[in-house]
Amino acid sequence: MALAFTDNYGSLYRQKLVTADEAVKVVKSGDWVQYGEFVMQPKELDAALAKRVNELHDVKVRAVCTTMIPEIVKADPQREHFCFNDWHFSGFSRAMHKQNLCNYIPITYHEARKLIGEFLTIDVAFVLVAPMDRNGYFNLGTSNSITSYVLERAKTVVVEVNKSVPVCLGGNSESVHISQVDYIVESQENPKLLNLPQPTITAEDRQIAFHVMEQLEDGACLQLGIGAMPNAIGTMIAESGLKDLGVHTEMLVDSFVDMYNSGVVTGKRKQIDKGKMVYTFAMGTDKLYDFLDLNPVCASYPVHYTNDPFIIAQNDKVFAINNAIEVDLYSQVASESTGTRHISGTGGQLDFIFASFRSKGGKGFICLTSTKKLADGTVVSRIRPTLSPGTIVTIPRSLNYYVVTEYGIATMKGRTTWERAEELINIAHPDFQDELVKEAEKMKIWVRTNKQDI
């Protein structure tokens, strides 16, 4: 049943209202189709497009960190009709990638506006939105990110209206007007947004969080990545008694709600967007989505604003806290793959590490446990002589700032190659330190430290 409107936009809404099956008829063979981002995936349009699998060929679909296995992929397991691509890998993307059903699109996140505006073709955009307001606007919900650029670039725009989507205030570019929309599809089920499972926080995560907490100061402006360790830090911050922290982050997660409710986050000392929790997308649980709904303390911005290092760095004391998979003795950071096994994407890690150094009093932390256990039970060091063959470098050694494991913090800025290797070996697991010293010597990285000095 169509939503009712008493304003001037009701008639236009009804003119553009179609079923999902009708809307997907705009897709032609050879088209590029853009889906929504993160938890804002257009489920009913995806299911309707999948029904057309045998009518279409060479349809390329892009998404950002998909939070589902798309129906188009399930309908075409041989990839003969649809080609699915992701700007930032999720667990679902990884599972598809293993079966050669998904490809990654490399991106430096803050460059997305120019990249999309000047380099991409988007024939059709399928975007999940909140119900239209009385002024004719559909809110983009939890994912501002690249969506406004997609809407500007797309030849045809189809919105899927879901009553469960929170209205996330801006900022800017957080909504699309009905005049920019070609077709409207109303969700029949209005499914709730995906709730991420709470990550398991290990003793090592807590120790890493403790080291980072020792660096934090009143008035710091926070960026947290996804995962157990950033959540552990968020929990500690909420209970810390720190004062007047600010938020300028790529991703808003549940722990920011705890920090705000505890009074730790006020944003009073920010230099820009004072008092606002700035973000470009949000993923978490209903606690986060309920907090965001019509909350003026939260400001949703497109990613060219939130992730521009020169904008981020206008705030003092930017503390960027992110995860990694491996770091080598040259201090190169790998956060996207281990060997050729694709795990994630560049995301905003590069943007925020760069910005934290430019920020007055800022610090950028790359955090990882010192070891990991392989599928066969073997324990290996995450600090390696060189990155595993085929591994993608996310942060070049010249931009790396601090590296943190459960054994401490290593400073990279201004250090020689041998000093970097020495500092990294000092925070590696003791069981691997001797071997790392030997490998550093083989690679002609002179390491003064020996086992007795560590």
What is the C-alpha separation between 151 and 153, in angstroms, rounded?
6
Q: Please identify which residue in the block is written with the tokens 């069981």.
A: 431
Structure tokens, 356: 């934290």
Residues labelled as active-site residues: 250
Angle between helices 228-238 and 254-261 (to 10 degrees): 10
Give the residue ranges of DSSP H helices in 266-369.
Answer: 286-292, 303-306, 309-312, 349-358
Cα–Cα separations (whole angstroms), residue 15 to 1, 37, 181, 306? 14, 27, 11, 36
Q: Please identify which residue in the block is written with the tokens 């590069």.
A: 350
What is the C-alpha separation between 130 and 146, in angstroms, rounded?
17
Q: What's phi and psi for 252, nearest 5 deg?
A: -100, 130
Buried b (16+ CB within 10 A) or exposed e, 264-297: bbbbebbeebeebbbbbbbbbbeebbebbeebee
CB 136 within 8 A of CB 31: no
Closest CA to 439 of 329, 333, 339, 334: 329
Beta pairing partners, 300: 170, 279
Beta pairing partners, 224: 321
Closest CA to 401 of 343, 442, 357: 357
Closest CA to 139 of 129, 147, 149: 129
Per the document, the length of the chain is 454
Helix, strand and coil in the chain, % to nearest 5: 30, 25, 45
Q: Please identify which residue in the block is written with the tokens 């189709």.
A: 33
Give the residue ranges of DSSP H helices in 254-370.
Answer: 254-261, 286-292, 303-306, 309-312, 349-358
Beta pairing partners, 86: 63, 104
CB 328 within 8 A of CB 317: no
CB 292 within 8 A of CB 252: yes
